[in-house]
Amino acid sequence: MDQKTNNLDSKDEIAEGRSAALDRLISLVESAGSIESITDKYFTNTRRIVDSNRSATASYAVFMRRRIIAALEPAKRLLGRYVPEAEVKTYYPEGALVPSEKKLLKIDVPFARMSEAETLLLQKVGFPCVCANNAFEMCRAVPYAAFIDMHARHASGAEMNLLAAYGASVGSDAARKENPDVRGFTSSSQDLTAPLYGQKLGTGTMPHALVGYTDGDVVQALKYLAPILPEEAPVIGLVDYRGTEISDSLAAARWFYEEARLQDEGRVFGVRLDTHGARFAEGLDYDKSIDVVGEWMDVDGEYNIAEAVLGTRAFHLDVGNVIVDRVRRLLFGTGVSIASIINTRRELDKAGYRQAQIVASSGFDLQKCQVVGAVRAPVDAIGTGSFLPGTLSETYATADVIAYDGNKRVKVGREFLYD
């Protein structure tokens, strides 16, 4: 869902926008207080001891215990601010796939200067790298859909927003490099992070709160919203508020195309599906959903459909039906199921609104994206924050000193970092 007037057009503009966003990140770190107040106290004590005794040059190795996509620029920016004399060797370029326990960075630096910065450094390594890996896989899974970064409300604040969005932008770029047909992440719901996706400002659809303000009337909400959007911004109606996704989609399309005729002004229309997971979308139940997906895929029977999605080998290896049951819920279940996306597309087309776009949101993590892509569900854009790490522990980065004044020395078990 591109906003042409909102694009950062040249490579230089995009690079400048990303650089400014990362500068903002470092400013946020600085605003939290002195390095002594925001690092681990034992590192401050170590710095004091080294300052009072003998200086040493330490060689740090930074790694992670899981596979990631390298998104290390925030960490390198932080080093440049707090330890400018550090000599940093990068083992993987930005956007590269990195196996677990492989060195990401080697840092040669005066030990006293680096000690206090270690905590701050590690805070900026793992989170964006895991977000990058998740975004990379999600974009690969649904190459034909644009992704909208909607993670903001799930984060703890601006610093986390910038780290997560930087990671998602790197992962998205990596997916495009692997497959030029990938659309990837094209926009953000925040002005703060929009430049990381090549945009000047954030974008969005409409919240449930606005539809509620109009007594559940999505058409009235669109009448309020359309005039205040940029001229070439898509006009998207949120259609699940009253539980009448199809009726409201058709009413919204009718207003846009036949009453307001905004297409004559070059405007783009779409509907956003965000159905609550406790109910089926309008016109569907479980059995009807099986029929809808089966017709779309030209496959009969729910287990045959699941097998077609998973692949025969994966299907038969899942002896406890754990994966199969999850896939069946995504295909035929409540909420924004694959069936609900297909059914909405079918009903819009039947009414003559083939150019209307569909934005889907709600729980679009990697597995859901993989199912969407496997079915080639007719979605134009996916709004998601589910590239965020599923568990915080998977973002933990580690730094070990592996040499002092050139003499190799590391705790037992980490000798592999010498290589």
- DSSP secondary structure string for all residues of 325-368: HHHHHHHHSSSS-HHHHHHHHHHHHHTT-TT-EEEEESS--HHH
Which CATH number do you get for residue 246?
Answer: 3.20.20.70
Matching residue, tokens 């998205």:
172
Query: Would you say residue 5 lies in a domain?
Result: no
Residue 286 token pair: 């479980």
pLDDT value, residue 4: 54
Query: Would you say residue 8 lies in a domain?
Result: no
Query: Would you say residue 304 lies in a domain?
Result: yes
Query: Would you say residue 26 lies in a domain?
Result: yes
Task: Please indicate, yes or no, whether residues 184 and 50 belong to a single structural domain of this protein.
Answer: no
What residue numbers bound the domain in which 199 lies?
A: 130-392
Long-range CB pairs of 258-264 (<8 Å, 24+ gap) are 260/223, 260/226, 262/226, 262/235, 263/355
Task: Please indicate, yes or no, whether residues 115 and 256 belong to a single structural domain of this protein.
Answer: no
Task: Please indicate, yes or no, whether residues 137 and 118 belong to a single structural domain of this protein.
Answer: no
Using a pLDDT cut of 90, give the percent of the chain over it: 90
Task: Please indicate, yes or no, whether residues 177 and 222 belong to a single structural domain of this protein.
Answer: yes
Q: How far is CA 388 from CA 127, 154, 276, in A?
A: 8, 9, 21
Which CATH number do you get for residue 81?
Answer: 3.20.140.10
Q: Quick one: DSSP state of residue 95?
A: T
Confidence of residue 227 (pLDDT cuts 50, 70, 90): very high
For the cut 90, the answer to whether the pLDDT of residue 357 exceeds it is yes
Confidence of residue 241 (pLDDT cuts 50, 70, 90): very high
For the cut 70, the answer to whether the pLDDT of residue 48 exceeds it is yes
Task: Please indicate, yes or no, whether residues 322 and 411 belong to a single structural domain of this protein.
Answer: no
Region 359-372 average pLDDT:
95
pLDDT value, residue 6: 81
Task: Please indicate, yes or no, whether residues 341 and 199 belong to a single structural domain of this protein.
Answer: yes
Q: Quick one: DSSP state of residue 202?
A: -
Using a pLDDT cut of 70, give the percent of the chain over it: 99
Residue-averaged pLDDT of the chain: 94
For the cut 80, the answer to whether the pLDDT of residue 206 exceeds it is yes
Task: Please indicate, yes or no, whether residues 122 and 195 belong to a single structural domain of this protein.
Answer: no
Query: Would you say residue 283 lies in a domain?
Result: yes
Q: What is the pTM of this model?
A: 0.94
Task: Please indicate, yes or no, whether residues 106 and 167 belong to a single structural domain of this protein.
Answer: no
Number of other residues whose CB lies within 10 A of the CB of residue 26: 18
Task: Please indicate, yes or no, whether residues 377 and 400 belong to a single structural domain of this protein.
Answer: no
Task: Please indicate, yes or no, whether residues 293 and 400 belong to a single structural domain of this protein.
Answer: no
Rounded Cα distance, 410 and 415, in Å: 7
> What is the three-class DSSP state of 271?
strand
Query: Would you say residue 12 lies in a domain?
Result: no
Region 226-235 average pLDDT:
90
Task: Please indicate, yes or no, whether residues 241 and 151 belong to a single structural domain of this protein.
Answer: yes
Q: pLDDT tens-digit profile of 184-193?
A: 999 999 999 9
For the cut 70, the answer to whether the pLDDT of residue 3 exceeds it is no
Residue type, 120: L
Task: Please indicate, yes or no, whether residues 244 and 372 belong to a single structural domain of this protein.
Answer: yes
**233 vs 274: which has the higher pLDDT:** 274
Q: In the chain, how many domains are there?
A: 2
Residue in 95, 100, 104 with CA at minimum distance from that of residue 175: 95
Alpha helices in 89-180 (DSSP H): 111-115, 117-123, 126-141, 158-178
Region 294-304 average pLDDT:
95
Residue in 2, 415, 381 with CA at minimum distance from that of residue 197: 2
Q: pLDDT tens-digit profile of 57-100?
A: 999 999 999 999 999 999 999 999 999 999 999 999 999 999 99
Matching residue, tokens 């979308």:
281
